[in-house]
Amino acid sequence: MTRFQFFVLLMLSVVGSPAMAIDEPRYTVVRTEGLFEVRRYEPYLVAETVVSATAEEAGNQGFRILAGYIFGGNKGEQRIEMTAPVAQTPVRIAMTAPVAQSATAGGYLIQFAMPREWTLKTLPEPNDPRVTLREIPARMIAVLAYSGTWSQSRYEEHLKKLQDALEKAGLSWHGEPMWARYDPPWKPWFWRRNEVMVELD
């Protein structure tokens, strides 16, 4: 079985049919301007893992790790409902050396949002030490949505559009951008919902 076939079967087993509603973190749209909108997100929980790889390979590896957790790879072997989006953020990973420590851009943080009925106290402990659980605080996020494929070049293209639009609107942001994917790979590319996000100051 190829990596892509594995990914397809995994997503099918999680989300079922294309018409099935998928839970998302709650937010309120507070501003819409041209290409982007500004959302106020409520706090939500995530399971996350850091993968040191290229953007596309990190997404595949991170998905497998986190899917293992929600499919029962946890204390109590509980299954957790799949939500959207699958979020991916570049991170700086500290690299140690015999005489020094330096930081290099070399990895991605992959996140699954947890369903709202869970809390940090009730979520089962992951069996895989690479999986961590935490709460994302309330925050203001600028979002540019687009359809199409999940390539790194398309992500960078739309990130540039978002950053240019924010600069024109006089809005500043901080931190690393996030790439959010809402659909399984079997969904036709022209119907897929993808987003690039940055946190506003």
Rounded (5°) CA angle 122-127-128: 120
- Spatial strand order of the sheet with 139-146 comes to 27-33, 36-41, 139-146, 194-200, 173-181, 86-96, 101-113, 44-51, 132-136
Residues linked to residue 126 through DSSP beta bridges, in sequence order: 74
- Give per-residue pLDDT as tens, 49-75: 988 887 778 888 888 999 999 999 999
Q: What CATH code would you report for 45-136?
A: 3.20.80.10
In whole angstroms, give the CA distance from residue 51 to residue 65: 10
pLDDT at 169: 96
In whole angstroms, give the CA distance from residue 184 to residue 201: 32
User: Residues near 163 by Cβ (< 8 Å), separated by ≥ 6?
Assistant: 173, 198
Structure tokens at 161: 């559009």
Q: Where in the chain is the domain with CATH 3.20.80.10?
A: 45-136
In whole angstroms, give the CA distance from residue 14 to residue 1: 18
CB contact at 8 A, 145 and 154: no
- Give per-residue pLDDT as tens, 159-182: 999 999 999 999 999 988 998 888
CB contact at 8 A, 20 and 187: no
- Give per-residue pLDDT as tens, 87-123: 888 875 443 333 343 233 568 888 999 999 999 999 9
pLDDT at 103: 33
pLDDT at 20: 45
